[in-house]
Chain A
Amino acid sequence: MSIEVRIPTILRTHTGGAKTVEGSGDTLGTLIDDLNSQHSGLKGRLVTDEGVLHRFVNVYVNDEDVRFTGALDTALKDGDSVTILPAVAGGAPILPAVAGG
């Protein structure tokens, strides 16, 4: 079982600069555990202490955003490709007058 994973620039400090790495797992969650055993610290950048995917990253299996396919429970099969991208988002500061309402 081999799954190719594309690593975004900001996480390449965990992969020795590698842009793609390989791992294995039946689900996205087990794949991330496997990746973390090879590339220490990676899991903490992808999964929160509560055990869900960080909102700062988007993860895709093939072309599908895993938010719509079961998140960490998304099933994987040999030959799938996983892409991790930084979410591009943000926004204006909440004005004090608006914050309560």
Chain B
Amino acid sequence: MLTIDRSTYDRIVAHARRDHPDEACGVVAGPVGTDRAQRFIPMLNAARSPTFYEFDSGDLLRLYREMDDRDEEPVVIYHSHTATEAYPSRTDISYAGEPGAHYVLVSTRHEAEVEFRSFRIVDGTVSEEQVRVDNAVVPA
């Protein structure tokens, strides 16, 4: 199960809406080993595309260095689908390189309705998990 606080959830959804019709992407980092999604880090989609996303390679290096320095890991890796369901595509699965991360998919295909789902992707196998949005927790 992914537990995420309301403000981080809202920021992910807002990022996805803002970049629509292009895909939005980012990370929520947390202290290593805690599974706590604490630090919201929106990333630039270097592909600037409605059907593809990728972190710029320089941004990726800086992100991982920064997380290393802070003893953090990517707890959530999120991106949006802008015309299809919030479910990992074959491309998403082939690229999924963080077996410990929660892969969050947001679909912005409907203006009024939010689709926010979370998955584990390990060795090419996708398993959906519950998302608990915690209203009480204030992010650090």
Contact = CB atoms under 8 A, between A and B. Distances in A.
A63 interface: yes
A92 B84 contact: yes
Interface of B: 23, 25, 27, 43, 47, 49-55, 57-58, 60-61, 64, 73, 77, 79, 81-84, 88-92, 94-100
Nearest to A8: B97
Contacts of A56: 94-95, 97
Contacts, number: 88
A-B pairs, top 7 by smallest CB distance, nearest first, are: A86-B97, A89-B54, A90-B92, A91-B52, A93-B89, A88-B55, A65-B57
B81 A92 contact: yes
B84 A95 contact: yes
Contacts of A67: 57
Interface residues of A, number: 22
B61 A87 contact: no
25 contacts: A8-B97, A9-B100, A10-B99, A56-B97, A58-B60, A60-B61, A65-B58, A67-B57, A83-B61, A83-B64, A86-B95, A86-B98, A88-B97, A89-B47, A89-B55, A89-B95, A90-B54, A90-B88, A90-B96, A91-B47, A91-B89, A92-B82, A92-B84, A93-B90, A93-B91
